[in-house]
């Protein structure tokens, strides 16, 4: 349970959020806005 594993998990979550943002931006703007907030909270954790 090293810090490298935590960083890898955060990177995976960030990539998932960015993928969801790209999908939601095509269908609904509200989803993209909430996704950007998620990425902001994740970046503050890292």
Averaged pLDDT, 28-43: 51
Average pLDDT of the segment spanning 3-21 = 88
Q: Average pLDDT, stretch 15-19?
A: 85
For residues 42 and 12, is the Cβ–Cβ distance under 8 A? no
| Residues 31, 36, 37, 39, Cα dihedral to 10° | 130
What number of other Cβ atoms are within 10 A of residue 23's Cβ? 13
Q: Per-residue pLDDT averaged across 24-42, rounded? A: 53
The residues near 9 (Cβ < 8 Å, ≥ 6 apart) are: none
């Amino acid at each position: 349970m090293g810090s490298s594993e935590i960083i890898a998990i955060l990177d995976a979550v960030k990539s998932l959020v960015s993928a969801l943002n790209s999908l939601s931006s095509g269908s609904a703007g509200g989803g993209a806005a909430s996704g950007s907030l998620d990425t902001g909270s994740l970046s503050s954790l890292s």
